[in-house]
Structure 1
């Protein structure tokens, strides 16, 4: 009985001891792993340290980039402000293009763009300057201002050319291509307009049409008279410098006069070129006028 009981106790003690031994072994293994990590800390902490290093440099770089942008922004603004108030922003060179009848001086006077004026003010007011230039000189139809350098501008002009001369109330006026009138200059080689004194609307429409005619043809006109008839209430009689006379309609004369050089070249003697309806010609005295 004693022996059996002892065996049972030993068996119980052994079965009870085995789990504790395994637990001890597990604890020992865990301690060895911890000791190994303590002896070689770089193996476990390398990635964390590397990430922290990257974050540090990224923050430094982005903050430096922001500072650089702010410096460039404020620095550029300061330089611009200094340029605006300095003599370096005053105009020294003006180039005028597109003018035929107007001189560069006349364009500068009309636009009020002159050396010594601040270039930034001219550029900011360029649209208003175009309108004021037309008011100051009706021959200036429009202008376009472009800055070509720190102290240089380019003015491109579109003109309202003078298409003739008209006498109204014993005073001579230049007739512009847009139908406006201005006090005439002392140039007697211009086209003279006759019979328009009480027909300003017809004069304006005629001037607009003549403004469409090529200069080489327009320069060959000596005078234009408004001579309406019952059959042709819009008839113009145009006296050419080559001795011919042209009949035309004031609503279509700008287009029809383009045929005149070709017709005149076929005429053996001076005569009449009728452009009112169609286009044909005849010599003086050979047709019942």
Structure 2
């Protein structure tokens, strides 16, 4: 029986075995070095940090001092201002008036010379509301400052459409139909005079009709008288600047005034043009005018 020959042992290369281990160790060392560099911080030297800390503290101190000084100066300046005459109203003026008297606007405003400017402008809405309530003639009021301590009252009036005569005093009538309580001894401007109107509603109706007329017709009318009766309470008589009179109904006055030039041409002198029902003209000598305004 033949015997087997023993197999030979495999040889191992030491370099191949050690090399992977060395590579592993090298990688681990590299990681440790990187981690050490990341975690490492150079200690700050006192000689470098102390000046920087001083500068920071100094800048904060300066900033706080500036803030405190600014507050104190503001308070002190404000207190000094309120003690000076510049904080008080020196003069009061009015602009925008055509009918209302400037002094009346100043008196009714409640603002007086010597009043505190700060108080006036703090309560300016109260002053304007009070003035508008006291003077219905005024539509808008604005309180402005001019110069250092002067006040100007900028007003806008309601349009005046005529005057109502009461006991010889001419009271302005506004476009709203309101009759101003204050008046003057004679009218101002080219506005008609409303006479003999005893009812406020009737006067307002006449004012509304007058406002609807053409501008050239309005300027031709000097007086409007109420001559209404039971048969026609809307009957009025117009006195024109050319010397003629026009009898008309308020409801149809605007439409029928277009016939006036033709009716006027029929007259050789002053007369009456009746537009109440039809349209005809008669001289004053033959007119039967039983109602003398």
TM-score over 0.5 for the pair: yes
**For residue 224 of structure 2, what is the aligned residue in structure 1?**
224
5+ residue gaps, structure 2, are 1-5, 42-55, 289-293
TM-score by length of 2: 0.57
**For residue 157 of structure 1, what is the aligned residue in structure 2?**
155
Deviation at 1:288, TM superposition (A): 6.6
TM-score by length of 1: 0.58
Q: Residues 257 and 129 of structure 1: is their aligned pair in 2 closer, same or farther, counting only changes over 3 Å?
A: farther
5+ residue gaps, structure 1, are 46-59
CA distance in 2, matches of 1:213, 1:147: 41
CA RMSD, 1 decimal: 5.1
Deviation at 1:133, TM superposition (A): 1.7
> Equivalences for 1:177-216 in 2 at 5 Å?
177=174, 178-187=177-186, 192-197=193-198, 199-207=199-207, 210=210
Give the secondary-structure state (helix, strand or coil) at the position aligned to 1:107.
Answer: helix
Deviation at 1:174, TM superposition (A): 1.7
CA distance in 1, matches of 2:7, 2:165: 151
Alignment partner of 1:239 is 2:236: no
**For residue 82 of structure 1, what is the aligned residue in structure 2?**
78
CA distance in 1, matches of 2:117, 2:263: 53
CA distance in 1, matches of 2:130, 2:154: 15
**For residue 102 of structure 2, what is the aligned residue in structure 1?**
104
CA distance in 2, matches of 1:7, 1:148: 119
Give the secondary-structure state (helix, strand or coil) at the position aligned to 1:182.
Answer: coil
The one-character-per-residue Cα deviations of 1:52-109 (angstroms, maximum 9, x if unpaired) are xxxxxxxx9xxx9xx99xx6xx96xx57x93884654444465533211223322222
> Equivalences for 1:165-184 in 2 at 5 Å?
165-167=164-166, 172=169, 174-177=171-174, 178-184=177-183
> Do the aligned partners of 2:143 and 2:151 also contact (CA within 8 Å) in 1?
yes
Q: Residues 136 and 18 of structure 1: is their aligned pair in 2 closer, same or farther, counting only changes over 3 Å?
A: same
The one-character-per-residue Cα deviations of 1:10-30 (angstroms, maximum 9, x if unpaired) are 63xx57x74444222332355
> Do the aligned partners of 2:264 and 2:273 also contact (CA within 8 Å) in 1?
no
